[in-house]
């Protein structure tokens, strides 16, 4: 695969990841709603899987492009991982009030930061 094809593939993937942040945000709110109403469903599991896929997608794009880790991207990754670990811990301990707060505030804000700042910053490396 030549550099032009790599950049094209990376650009397409970044565009999909930007769209995917909207899905992750929706899944986060859906999981919070199910928890608040004590409804058993797979929204939470889908959210966790989705975040894993999202982070893997970012990693793959960075590898394909040879993009170095910037402090800002590193911060966003650590923030998402830290929040996700806190979400998993709250879920495991049935700390539902705090879990709902994380699912309705912290995670959606992180997804918006990726959508509006992080992913566009990675995309700008395509033009460099």
By the 10 Å C-beta count (0-12 exposed, 13-18 middle, 19+ buried), 52 is classed as exposed
* Structure tokens that stand for 16 in this block: 């999909």
pTM, two decimals, is 0.90
* pLDDT tens digits, one per residue of 8-51: 888 899 999 999 999 999 999 999 999 999 888 899 999 999 99
* Structure tokens that stand for 23 in this block: 């899905």
pLDDT at position 128: 63
- Is the pLDDT at 53 greater than 70? The verdict is yes
pLDDT at position 81: 95
Cβ atoms of 17 and 119 closer than 8 Å:
yes
pLDDT at position 54: 96
pLDDT at position 125: 80
* pLDDT tens digits, one per residue of 60-85: 888 887 777 788 989 999 999 999 99
Alpha helices in 1-128 (DSSP H): 3-36, 43-65, 71-92, 96-101, 107-113, 119-127
Q: Which of 52, 65, 51, 47 is nearest to 121 (CA)?
A: 65
Domain count, the chain: 1
Please give the Cα distance from 117 to 33 (Å, whole number): 27
Please give the Cα distance from 86 to 80 (Å, whole number): 10
CATH number for the domain including 56?
1.20.120.660
Range of the domain at 51: 3-37+45-127
């Amino acid at each position: 695969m030549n550099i032009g094809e790599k950049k094209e593939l990376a650009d397409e993937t970044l565009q999909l990841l930007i769209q995917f942040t909207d899905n992750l945000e929706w899944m986060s709110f859906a999981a919070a709603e199910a928890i608040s109403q004590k409804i058993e469903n797979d929204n939470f599991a889908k959210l966790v899987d989705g975040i894993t896929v999202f982070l893997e997608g970012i990693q793959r794009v960075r590898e394909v492009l040879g993009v170095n880790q910037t402090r800002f991207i590193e911060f966003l990754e650590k923030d998402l991982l830290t929040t996700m670990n806190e979400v998993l811990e709250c879920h495991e301990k049935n700390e539902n009030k705090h879990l709902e707060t994380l699912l309705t505030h912290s995670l959606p804000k992180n997804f918006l930061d990726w959508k509006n700042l992080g992913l566009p910053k990675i995309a700008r490396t395509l033009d460099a």
